[in-house]
Structure 1
Amino acid sequence: MTTVTRPPGPVTLPPGPTAPRAVQGAYALTSPLRGLHRLRAKYGDAFTVNVPIFGRAVVISGAAEIKQLFMSGPDLVDNQEVNLGRVLGPRSLFALSGEDHRRQRKLLVPPFHGRRLAAYEKIVEEETVRELATWPEDRAFATLPSMMRITLNAILRAVFGAEGAEFAELRALLPPFVTLGSRLAVLPISKKGRLNPWRRFERLRREYDAIVDRLIAKARADDRLDDRDDVLALMLQSRYDDGSELSREEIADQLLTLLTAGHETTATTLAWAVERLRRHPGVLRELTGSGDSKLLNATILEVQRTRPVIDLTARQVKQDGFRLGRWTLPKGYVVLVSIALIHDDDALFPHAATFDPHRFAGARPDLYQWIPFGGGTRRCIGAAFATMEMTVVLRTLLREFTLVPTDEAGERWHSRGVAYAPAKGGRAIVRRREGTA
């Protein structure tokens, strides 16, 4: 991370549309991805927009400016004031800035590496096998609901440490809770007034908090807490540098944050993986014929490049005169990084429109150019967990079933609020492999 102090200069912003904020906002909601591509074609790889929630903001997709943004310290750019804390809670990593963010992140990194991450693989495979047993043969069906169930159940076990009544209650509560929250996160709806969707969201949040309180109480009474691998157990044992422990509110918000990082977005990427593989039979044959783990990893990277489920990651300027490449931005401006636009850049990814996992074979992606998890100090903390989930689910799916190719046109992008999913849910036709029943 670098922090560079420069004297403020005159504000210089990239060009952009001049339509009123409401008009630009409607365009962003009704044609988000197509709209970004049109704006890049007209204005170049940086342009200024004026949209609800963010206000006047600069959208960037050039590699050099994105790298500079991600490497800039929190005294220059940090979390935007309007963020996912609206739905995940004020103590969520998505809501915190500066030192508070650093302290929380430091406590939450250990569960997603080494021995603990390896322990979670077994849970993901168990949930995958259980769900695959329900799949019909020789009949088209949407895979996204299955992927949602797999990732939700895995998160509840590996992160929440839930079982029994709490597992069943959370499995029923969280899907509508997450769906509603995902939509509210991108809509400029005030929390004021009695008859609006925030009232239902707040009721669901109270139910969620009550269940988490019970999970915390049970964990604290567990005399084998030290032997548990779930993230809740680790949170209860973790301490800040001053010896203090996480509050109940911090635990509840961070559990919800980790659910968001490893559930809907991961499931949606898995549905896209099915959609892409069925339309690229050569890659599918190579994967199923060789069982090459490196090719499987490369395929997941390419799915995330060509079908990123989150399009934008953001920072807010904290000092006047912040120089970002060619531009000088005023304090308070939001900088939006377009993940889809940089992933579509032929200069970085030759023949970018082509689905080709071999571009990543034997090579690690540049994390300032391949950015489905965002970047810098605010890169998604669940990236390693999500990658593990996708690897285990796809490996198990291809081991258990033959995925029938198709010559149908690719599925359209469909906005679920925060995430973009295949419009038909990643439809598949499968046949169980001999000896796997």
Structure 2
Amino acid sequence: MTTMTSAVTLPPGPTAPRAVQGAYALTRPLRGMRRLRERYGDAFTVNVPIFGRAVVLSDPAEIKQLFTSGPDLVDNLEVNLGRVLGPHSMFALSGDEHKRQRKLLVPPFHGRRLATYEKIVEEETVRELANWPEGTAFATLPSMMRITLNAILRTVFGAEGAEFAELRELLPPFVTLGSRLAVAPISKKGRFNPWRRFERMRREYDAIVDRLIAKARVEPKDDVLSMMLQTRYDDGSGLTRDEISDQLLTLLTAGHETTATTLAWAVERLRRHPAVLRELTESDDLLDATILEVQRSRPVIDLTARQVKQDGFRLGRWTLPKGYAVLVSIALVHDDDAVFPRAKAFDPHRFAGARPDLYQWIPFGGGTRRCLGAAFATMEMTVVLRTLLRDFTLVPTAEPDERWHSRGVAYAPAKGGRAVVRRRSTGGEQ
């Protein structure tokens, strides 16, 4: 049981000033986390910009306790992705309001609804892969970005025609800028700063969404936006325009850049593990396990977080004061040999025939704040990889692993998941 006590007990950690710790976190994020664990153990205290004073966890038992604690004890961070996604985003909401909106938004992303979107994802994959060059190395990340963006615009936004074209042009730079601002301690004050450009782009985005809403009211389709307009709270009221606009942007974030980046990592991993690649080529029985292993070994988001809401919150070995952030380092958990034996090895067979423990395998976060679009993202990755391996042969490589590269919120392969491919003939492999 979660208990409360007045005595504060914090794990050890560095004592350098906040600015110094922040610079270290920005310049050496993943390597820095690993070094801090080596020095202080599986929990440590940091003091960094944006989060302030925070405890970093990587012990599954303490993570489980955190994820299952009620919102009266720990809840959403006060400073969160709502800064860029809007105040009505699922990332910004807390307590009862978060629960209320999540209840409305879960149905479009499960069961038969997902199956209706698979064809669209496959169409976008085939269209994009038709332009892939044969026999020469190229980065796959831009292709994956286009596939996932187009799929989201069609299945979630219900966009077509002028709105589809405008959003395709606007959203990539908009998402890139927002991703960087989300982790940069830059004030919104001042006449000349990147927030001004972001706000102009947000106004353009909102205007396009207004047009999509107007069209969907007249002619509803089988997309998430149309479902949002039809769904109702318990009191009979519907989602407001601002809520819809923020949630569409949230769903884009959940199913676009992070999914595309994972797909690029999948290409990078498979080319360096020819035995796994050969097994996938012969049968897709290992496909689900491979996607799980890519997400374990190359998580594109490193942190999921909560904030302590009451003094004396007892979390495992520690007693935390009100206001402290609790950060779960996904990479540290996934990289721990005690949790995943031979954690450095890329081995999809560890998940063959078994589902992962959701307090140990946590690329989508966990608890009541687990990523709303997790099932949709998994469907996208499955369809894209299955189509890629059906239509192309990935040429293995002995090149060194691609390094991790921070794109702001997400960590991508530094060379974009480079591939060399050969197209398969309809009668068999060429």
The CA deviation at 1:435 is: 1.8
The CA deviation at 1:386 is: 0.2
1:210 and 2:207 are equivalent in the alignment: yes
The CA deviation at 1:237 is: 0.1
Letter in 2 for 1:100: E
Structure 2 residue aligned with 1:291: 284
User: 1:217-270, CA deviations, whole angstroms, 9 ceiling, x for partnerless residues?
Assistant: 011111xx2xx2200000000000000010000000000000000000000000
Structure 1 residue aligned with 2:252: 259
The CA deviation at 1:347 is: 1.1
Using the alignment, how far apart are the partners of 1:344 and 1:316 within structure 2?
A: 24
1:422 and 2:413 are equivalent in the alignment: yes
Structure 2 residue aligned with 1:197: 194
Using the alignment, how far apart are the partners of 1:204 and 1:247 within structure 2?
A: 21
Provide the secondary structure at the position in 2 that maps to 1:16: coil
TM-score by length of 1: 0.97
Structure 2 residue aligned with 1:163: 160
Which among 301, 304, 328 is matched to residue 319 of structure 2?
328
Provide the secondary structure at the position in 2 that maps to 1:313: strand
Contact 2:305 2:327 in 1 (8 A): yes
Which among 80, 83, 87 is matched to residue 84 of structure 2?
87
Structure 2 residue aligned with 1:409: 400
The CA deviation at 1:333 is: 0.3
Letter in 2 for 1:169: E
Using the alignment, how far apart are the partners of 1:291 and 1:77 within structure 2?
A: 41
The CA deviation at 1:367 is: 0.3
Letter in 2 for 1:182: S
* Cα pair distance change 1:32/1:7, threshold 3 Å: closer
Provide the secondary structure at the position in 2 that maps to 1:232: helix
User: 1:355-403, CA deviations, whole angstroms, 9 ceiling, x for partnerless residues?
Assistant: 0000000000000100000000000000000000000000000000000
Which among 392, 410, 414 is matched to residue 383 of structure 2?
392
Using the alignment, how far apart are the partners of 1:389 and 1:79 within structure 2?
A: 28
The CA deviation at 1:345 is: 1.0
Structure 1 residue aligned with 2:184: 187
Structure 2 residue aligned with 1:367: 358
Structure 2 residue aligned with 1:45: 42
1:13 and 2:4 are equivalent in the alignment: no
Structure 2 residue aligned with 1:274: 267
1:250 and 2:243 are equivalent in the alignment: yes
User: 1:134-156, CA deviations, whole angstroms, 9 ceiling, x for partnerless residues?
Assistant: 00000000000000000000000
1:105 and 2:102 are equivalent in the alignment: yes
Structure 2 residue aligned with 1:305: 296
Task: List 4+ stretches of structure 1 deviating above 3 A.
Answer: none
The CA deviation at 1:7 is: 3.9
The CA deviation at 1:408 is: 0.2
Equivalent residues in 2 for 1:337-356 (5 A)? 337-356=328-347
Letter in 2 for 1:395: R
* Cα pair distance change 1:7/1:304, threshold 3 Å: closer
1:138 and 2:135 are equivalent in the alignment: yes
Letter in 2 for 1:405: P
Using the alignment, how far apart are the partners of 2:91 and 2:104 within structure 1?
A: 15
Equivalent residues in 2 for 1:62-81 (5 A)? 62-81=59-78
Using the alignment, how far apart are the partners of 1:9 and 1:331 within structure 2?
A: 11
Provide the secondary structure at the position in 2 that maps to 1:352: coil
Structure 2 residue aligned with 1:434: 425
Identity percentage over the alignment?
Answer: 85
Provide the secondary structure at the position in 2 that maps to 1:315: strand
Provide the secondary structure at the position in 2 that maps to 1:408: coil
TM-score by length of 2: 0.99
Provide the secondary structure at the position in 1 that maps to 2:55: strand
Structure 2 residue aligned with 1:56: 53
Using the alignment, how far apart are the partners of 1:116 and 1:62 within structure 2?
A: 36
1:148 and 2:141 are equivalent in the alignment: no
The CA deviation at 1:291 is: 2.9
* Cα pair distance change 1:266/1:157, threshold 3 Å: same
Contact 2:4 2:314 in 1 (8 A): no
Letter in 2 for 1:275: E
Structure 2 residues without counterparts, runs of 5 or longer: none
User: 1:292-323, CA deviations, whole angstroms, 9 ceiling, x for partnerless residues?
Assistant: 2xx10000000000000000000000000000
Using the alignment, how far apart are the partners of 2:254 and 2:101 within structure 1?
A: 15
* Cα pair distance change 1:335/1:7, threshold 3 Å: closer
Letter in 2 for 1:138: G
Structure 1 residues without counterparts, runs of 5 or longer: none
Letter in 2 for 1:233: S
Using the alignment, how far apart are the partners of 2:40 and 2:206 within structure 1?
A: 46
The CA deviation at 1:116 is: 1.0
Using the alignment, how far apart are the partners of 1:354 and 1:187 within structure 2?
A: 33
The CA deviation at 1:20 is: 0.4
Provide the secondary structure at the position in 2 that maps to 1:259: helix
Using the alignment, how far apart are the partners of 1:290 and 1:238 within structure 2?
A: 40
The CA deviation at 1:114 is: 1.3
Using the alignment, how far apart are the partners of 2:24 and 2:240 within structure 1?
A: 41
1:230 and 2:223 are equivalent in the alignment: yes
